[in-house]
Amino acid sequence: MQQINFILSLADANLILSQRNAEWCGHGPVLEQDIAITNITLDLLGQARNFYQYAASLVNQSGNMPGNIATEDSLAYRRTEREFKNILLCELPKGDWAQTVLRQFFYSVFCKGLYTQLLQGQDAQLSAIAEKSLKEVLYHVRWSGEWVMRLGDGTAESNQRMKQALQFLWPYTGEMFMPAGFENNEIDLASIKKQWLSQVRSILEEATLQLPAGNIFMQSGGKKGIHTEHMGFLLAEMQYLQRMYPDANW
């Protein structure tokens, strides 16, 4: 069951962040970047699907859902808020463009370290998903990092917006490195954190931004199913069609 929960946490984080980023579709600052954020959204959704499909196969093999067949759709659209295991960072409102690109940068750098470790793991299926996902994540890191530098080292207004985004998002970054019970035997979060901090600090320095100082309280709970007030509204919109018309087919 721990393995299933671990895979679900990966799927949930990608699905929820893709839903948030999708709110920019048709509303990006310029056409090229509108297309870029939409493509990143599709990448995240594709990664979520791969994880959900694998989780569904393990659920069905385990027999934990007698009489029901788990599918990627049932795991995405039929689970309640408390059953989702995504980190809180992914469910926060999209905010302005600065907040969106900074969150994407934080999350993508984390995924780069995470998928690199999964690539070397014992689970062949997870390794294959990580290998495919890592190719996309490397682009996400480059794209979001360039935007962080462009806005941080841009105009007075763009710099101020990046500072506000950093102040708002930073307390939610710590949860990425807080191990849940289902993660203990899968990944080395301490190692990922070290690499993450190094790359984040480097980009922020180029963006003329500084890491927040001091012992800041880090928000957590998402991996345990305890979410912010934003999650319920997000799921209500995302799951509406499937809950109103179960098993609907186009």
Among left, alpha and beta (phi > 0; psi -120 to 50; other), residue 63 is left
Residue 189's pLDDT band (cuts 50, 70, 90): very high
Write the pLDDT tens digit of every residue in 84-139.
Answer: 999 999 999 999 999 999 999 999 999 999 999 999 988 999 999 999 999 999 99
Q: What is the pLDDT of residue 66?
A: 54
Element (H, E) at 47: helix 31-62
Residue 29's pLDDT band (cuts 50, 70, 90): confident
Sign of CA dihedral 28, 198, 46, 79: negative
Contact 148, 203 (CB under 8 A): yes
Average pLDDT over residues 203-211: 96
Contact 175, 89 (CB under 8 A): yes
Structural domains in the chain, CATH included, are: 2-244 (1.20.1260.10)
Q: Return the SS3 of 173.
A: coil
Q: What is the pLDDT of residue 13?
A: 98
Q: What is the pLDDT of residue 67?
A: 57
Q: Kindly state the percentage of the chain with pLDDT values over 90.
A: 81
Q: What is the pLDDT of residue 64?
A: 66
Instruction: Say yes or no to pLDDT of 213 above 60.
Output: yes
